[in-house]
């Protein structure tokens, strides 16, 4: 029996199957073979000398990938591909899919075949799953903290180079919501963008030009004081206002200033941690962005245990 706490009810908006489908869309529709090959290349190099000299070539084995802590699983498809990249003859069965929350002792994956191949692939497969599982697990912790409020937990662009789609998919597995994927799918205007030097009129004109040329691109303006919020609320075609490092009282006032309008949506950012996130959520903001979801994640404790064949 596979040990698990729950499958999908922690995911909030949307369904477990939808989030899993998105994850597999990311993995299946983007060629991550280059990442798998590079990861194996830096680990295996010219060959695994340990298995070559200390593990008989004809030895068969059965291994179980096991969760050593409670958490949310992510990265199973990458791990499966790692094992098969090392040895296509291996049998790899994924028992728990991405997005499922598991208990300590849960058996996530079963691998059968050459002992040499399993041992060679082990660390690379675990590296993918431990990192992505850590992101999913930490995201889930933040999502739990804002349960019962309207706030959604957002990731950021503070991702590992080359891993962005994978890390953002892991955020979804944990029940979070993706912020912009890159510089191309949302304009985010901050104080250091020179267009702001022309004042509100120049800013409004730039927004109108952007929307004319790229109607599907969203616009977000950063405000670090309430007077800016007041000005931005008068503008048209502003989709989001980012409330940067504002106090709880300022966040509440910004929500009141928007009134019954649904746009622009309000995003709180800066100084967010597990202790601070619920009070922030209770101010009424729509989103809370957390860079730590991806840039300061603790790896999920997973291990590969060899058992009798």
Is residue 222 part of the annotated active site? The answer reads: yes
Q: Nearest CA to 250 among 239, 241, 263? A: 241
How far does CA 163 lie from the centroid of its chain? 10
Is residue 97 part of the annotated active site? The answer reads: no
Query: Looking up tokens 């058992």, which residue turns up?
Result: 307
- Backbone phi and psi for residue 186, each to the nearest 5 degrees, phi listed first: -160, 135
- Backbone phi and psi for residue 193, each to the nearest 5 degrees, phi listed first: -90, 125
Give the distance between the most distant pair of CA atoms in the chain.
Answer: 74
Is residue 158 part of the annotated active site? The answer reads: yes
- Backbone phi and psi for residue 19, each to the nearest 5 degrees, phi listed first: -70, -40
For residue 63, give the H/E element and its range: strand 60-67
Choice among 77, 244, 267, 286 that is catalytic? 244
Neighbours of 137 (CB within 10 A): 25
Angstrom distance (rounded) from CA 134 to CA 113: 28
Choice among 62, 85, 157, 158 that is catalytic? 158
Q: What are the beta bridge partners of residue 152?
A: 287
Choice among 167, 222, 267, 286 that is catalytic? 222
How open is the CA angle 277-283-286, to the nearest 5 degrees? 80
Angstrom distance (rounded) from CA 76 to CA 128: 8
Angstrom distance (rounded) from CA 13 to CA 221: 25
Pairing of strands 287-289, 186-189: unpaired
The phi-psi region of residue 75 (left if phi > 0; otherwise alpha if psi is between -120 and 50; otherwise beta) is left
Choice among 38, 59, 68, 190 that is catalytic? 190
Is residue 190 part of the annotated active site? The answer reads: yes
Is residue 123 part of the annotated active site? The answer reads: yes
Choice among 123, 157, 164, 278 that is catalytic? 123
Angstrom distance (rounded) from CA 228 to CA 191: 11
Active-site positions read 123, 158, 190, 222, 244
């Amino acid at each position: 029996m596979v040990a698990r706490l729950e499958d999908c009810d922690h995911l909030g908006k949307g369904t477990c199957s939808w989030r899993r489908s998105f994850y597999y869309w990311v993995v299946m529709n983007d060629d991550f073979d280059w990442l798998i090959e590079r990861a194996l290349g830096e680990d295996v190099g010219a060959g695994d000398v340990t298995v070559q000299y200390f593990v008989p070539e004809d030895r068969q084995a059965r291994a179980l990938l096991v969760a050593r802590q409670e958490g949310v699983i992510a990265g199973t498809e990458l791990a499966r591909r790692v094992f098969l990249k090392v040895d296509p003859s291996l049998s790899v069965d994924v028992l728990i899919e991405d997005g499922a929350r598991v208990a300590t002792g849960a058996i996530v994956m079963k691998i059968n075949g050459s002992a040499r191949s399993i041992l060679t692939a082990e660390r690379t497969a675990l590296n993918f799953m431990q990192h992505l599982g850590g992101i999913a697990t930490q995201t889930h912790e933040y999502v739990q903290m804002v349960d019962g409020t309207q706030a959604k937990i957002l990731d950021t662009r503070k991702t590992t180079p080359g891993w962005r789609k994978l890390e953002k998919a892991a955020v979804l597995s944990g029940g979070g919501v993706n912020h912009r994927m890159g510089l191309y799918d949302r304009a985010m205007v901050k104080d250091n963008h020179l267009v702001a030097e022309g004042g509100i009129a120049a800013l409004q004109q730039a927004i109108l030009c952007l929307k004319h040329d790229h109607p599907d691109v969203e616009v977000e303006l950063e405000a670090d004081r309430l007077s800016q919020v007041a000005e931005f609320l008068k503008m048209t075609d502003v989709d989001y206002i980012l409330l940067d490092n504002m106090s709880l009282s300022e966040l509440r006032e910004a929500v009141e200033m928007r009134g019954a309008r649904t746009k622009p949506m309000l995003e709180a950012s800066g100084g967010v941690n597990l202790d601070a996130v619920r009070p922030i959520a209770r101010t009424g903001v729509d989103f809370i962005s957390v860079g730590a979801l991806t840039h300061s994640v603790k790896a999920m404790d997973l291990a590969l245990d060899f058992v009798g064949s």
